[in-house]
Amino acid sequence: MTELLAKFATWGVLLSIAAYGLGLYIQRKTRRPWLHPLLLSSILIIVLLSGLRVPYPDFKASASPVAYLLLPATVSLAIPLYEQWELLKKNTTAILIGCFSGVLASLGSIAVMAWILRMERVHAATLLPKSVTTAIGMDVAKTLGGMAPLAAAAIILTGIAGNLIAEWLLKALKIEEPLARGIAIGTSSHAIGTAKALELGEVEGAMSGLAIAVAGVMTAVLAPVVAVLLP
């Protein structure tokens, strides 16, 4: 099977698109929010690779063009941010404080969990950047001595969780300020959560997109400091 797939350089890209399309179709048909297409497509690809005994490095190399699109896709989130530029200038301090608080909560929760559960340092370091975008989180995890592939999985699951529960949680906590809602979503669940923020409103989407970049930088700076406290 590996030799057959080797003849088609982009089979990983085609598989990724087909798996996501199937996941999207299932979600629309079932109307179950927890059946997120990204989660379903990931499970489908894992099952197929395992069943056909295709090495993951082969899939990763073939699907690399998809990974290259992560950065421009993240940068494109600057468009709604530009449209809300005046709001950004008026609330710079509040935005920075909100992002900083979110990053501390994310890193601190992992550090506390690591001590309570007596996690191995490599696993704790892997989970530390769970709330930032994959492009940043994988590098941070690797730098801290964690496992980048596992960090990517944790980041995706965090984003899916944020996408699914963000609206419900905001309503439960009675958070109605659009700026606060956007910062909270972007800081805690990066780009996947931002997709939900864009559904909530233009301001929420713009602030969530901004929070991805700000929280990413803050995490890259603060994660090594928190890593010193890991068991």
CA atoms within 13 A on the CB side of 15: 22
Locate tokens 């602030």: which residue? 207
The confidence band for 140, taking pLDDT boundaries of 50, 70 and 90, is very high
Spans of all domains in the chain: 2-68, 78-227
Choose the weakest-confidence range: 22-31, 56-65, 75-84, 197-206: 75-84
The model's pTM is 0.78
Choose the weakest-confidence range: 14-28, 46-60, 130-144, 165-179: 46-60
Q: Exposed, middle or buried by CB within 10 Å (0-12, 13-18, 19+), for 129?
A: buried
Identify the CA nearest to 106 among candidates 231, 228, 205, 218. Answer: 218
- φ, ψ for residue 144, nearest 5 deg: -85, 0
